[in-house]
Chain A
Amino acid sequence: MDLFKLLMAFLIGGLICVVAQLLIDLTRLTPARILVLYVCFGVFLGGVGLYTPLFDLAGAGASVPLIGFGANVAKGVMESVDENGLLGSLMGPFTASAVGCSSALIFGYLAALIFKSKSKRT
């Protein structure tokens, strides 16, 4: 267990969330827009090669925030383009986001079968 990396995961992961919180409080951007922004930013970071050093430094601090999801898509796309040429730009995105999307959808579906929404409480 790398304690320094654990600390960095906490700090970087926390800071990424603080930036989003500032955007919510100061600009009244809706959460949905912020998530979209973060995913696209992650794709950008992955594309220009800045994500890997961040990941090496912070591990889950980089991969757990939605930026990691975007960067993962970027990585998958570039690998797929290397392998399949231009067609890879259509194959890659879905392959790379498959695990996240599938698990969210499947767990979501199962939860819908089991649970019910409850009234909100103050």
Chain B
Amino acid sequence: MENSKDYKKRIKRHTPKSPIFKDCLLAFVFGGAISAIGEILASLYIYFGAEEQTSYTLVTVTLIFVSALLTGLGVFDNIARYAGAGTLVPVTGFANSVVSSAIDTKAEGLILGVGSKIFTVAGPVILYAILSGSILGVIYYFVTLFS
């Protein structure tokens, strides 16, 4: 037989690497395009009279809506398998993780299925956003207090 160290080396030798260049290029194009679409939408909302801050918030809502729709139609996962981080990192990925969990657990009921599982993938993101935000708030409070 083989010891752990040698076997790990053997695994490494035989495991194909991800095509990094191709993955990164696709992530760049998709991520960039989604951001650019966001920017165009923002200018559009400003043009129609929204304030700058509000228009960027509306962009977030729009992208979440579109992601939800594409996820429901079964298109999102087929784009994401090529786009990788390009659809994961924009708010589209966050929306997809919430929406896909919700759709997936429908069969287990609307309360214990959808209700509890809707957070399975997105829960950590929300938790750590709140947690780090809170910590920042405390630090900020004391910094402003003493300066």
Q: Chain A contacts of B133 at CB under 8 A?
A: 43, 70, 73-74, 76-77, 89, 92-93, 96-97
B79 near A: Cβ within 8 Å? no
Asked if residues A107 and B99 are in contact (CB atoms below 8 Å), the reply is: yes
With contacts A18-B31, A25-B23, A73-B129 taken as known, whether A66 is within 8 angstroms of B137 at the C-beta atoms is no
Asked if residues B102 and A108 are in contact (CB atoms below 8 Å), the reply is: yes
With contacts A36-B124, A68-B91, A69-B129 taken as known, whether A111 is within 8 angstroms of B68 at the C-beta atoms is yes
Asked if residues B20 and A26 are in contact (CB atoms below 8 Å), the reply is: yes
Q: What 10 pairs across the A-B complex have the smallest Cβ distances?
A: A13-B35, A89-B137, A17-B31, A14-B32, A60-B38, A93-B133, A115-B72, A107-B68, A20-B85, A9-B39
With contacts A24-B84, A74-B133, A89-B138 taken as known, whether A6 is within 8 angstroms of B31 at the C-beta atoms is no
Asked if residues B104 and A77 are in contact (CB atoms below 8 Å), the reply is: no
A72 and B134 alpha carbons, distance in the complex (Å): 13
A24 and B110 alpha carbons, distance in the complex (Å): 33
Given contacts A9-B39, A35-B124, 16 further A-B contacts (CB under 8 A): A11-B32, A13-B90, A15-B28, A17-B86, A34-B89, A39-B128, A63-B56, A63-B59, A64-B34, A64-B38, A69-B91, A78-B136, A88-B137, A89-B136, A103-B65, A108-B103
Interface string of B104-147 (1 = CB under 8 A from A): 11100010001000100110111011111111111111001000
A112 and B135 alpha carbons, distance in the complex (Å): 34
Interface residues of B (CB under 8 A from A): 17-18, 20, 23-24, 27-43, 56-57, 59-61, 63-65, 68-69, 71-74, 77, 84-86, 88-91, 93-95, 97-106, 110, 114, 118, 121-122, 124-126, 128-141, 144
Nearest to B123 among chain A residues (CB) is A32
What are some 5 contacts across the A-B interface (CB < 8 A)? Answer: A21-B27, A24-B85, A38-B89, A60-B35, A85-B141
Q: Chain A contacts of B37 at CB under 8 A?
A: 60
Q: Chain B contacts of A112 at CB under 8 A?
A: 99, 102-103, 105-106, 110, 114, 118
- The 8 Å CB contact of A107, one of B31, B64, B125, is B64
With contacts A16-B31, A93-B137 taken as known, whether A60 is within 8 angstroms of B36 at the C-beta atoms is yes
Q: Chain B contacts of A35 at CB under 8 A?
A: 88-89, 93-94, 97, 124-125
Asked if residues A111 and B103 are in contact (CB atoms below 8 Å), the reply is: yes
- The 8 Å CB contact of A66, one of B71, B77, B94, B105, is B94
Least Cβ distance of B119 to chain A in Å? 9
Q: Chain A contacts of B132 at CB under 8 A?
A: 39-40, 43-44, 70, 73
